[in-house]
């Protein structure tokens, strides 16, 4: 994909996300959800473009922002299963990104920061719904591994 196309997709992601953010802030969560889903589709296009766009597009951060926006929206809609799925997708995405793109200092720093933010959000989510499952225990074990490996 050409640089111009990648920039166009990034702009579309920004526009979709900005509009969805406004709906979210106004409490119109069903419309926010639709906007965030459209933004995620653009984020996936950016991410699938590989390392070509990493020079000027922060595709990893865009994916994490998209997943986080969806998690928060599902949480507001009280669709806890979908919110949890988004948190899980975020963790899986970060792990696969880490191991597919390598452990460069910059890559590790960005992913480590994203992991910490996701786990803080996920922990708050678990407290809010008052629930912990075997999968949640597994994610906490992954967090310990990430903390010990990247600190």
Residue with tokens 């009280």: 78
Do residues 111 and 98 touch, judged by C-beta distance below 8 A?
yes
Counting as low any pLDDT under 50, the low residues of the chain are 51, 53, 151
* CATH, domain range 3-149: 1.25.40.10
Name which of 121, 97, 117, 119 is nearest 108 in CA terms. 97
pLDDT at 148: 62
Domain map of the chain by residue range?
Answer: 3-149
pLDDT at 53: 47
pLDDT at 151: 45
Residue with tokens 């998690």: 71
Do residues 71 and 87 touch, judged by C-beta distance below 8 A?
yes
């Amino acid at each position: 994909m050409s640089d111009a196309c990648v920039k166009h997709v990034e702009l579309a992601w920004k526009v979709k996300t900005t509009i969805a953010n406004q709906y979210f802030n106004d409490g119109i969560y069903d419309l926010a959800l639709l906007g965030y889903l459209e933004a995620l589709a653009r984020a996936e296009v950016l991410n699938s473009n590989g390392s070509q766009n990493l020079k000027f597009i922060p595709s990893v951060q865009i994916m994490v922002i998209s997943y986080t926006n969806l998690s928060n929206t599902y949480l507001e809609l009280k669709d806890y299963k979908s919110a949890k799925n988004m948190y899980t997708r975020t963790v899986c995405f970060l792990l696969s990104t880490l191991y597919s793109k390598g452990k460069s200092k910059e890559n590790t720093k960005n992913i480590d920061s994203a992991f910490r933010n996701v786990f803080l959000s996920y922990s708050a989510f678990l407290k809010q719904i008052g629930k912990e499952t075997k999968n949640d225990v597994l994610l906490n074990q992954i967090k310990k591994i990430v903390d010990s490996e990247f600190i």
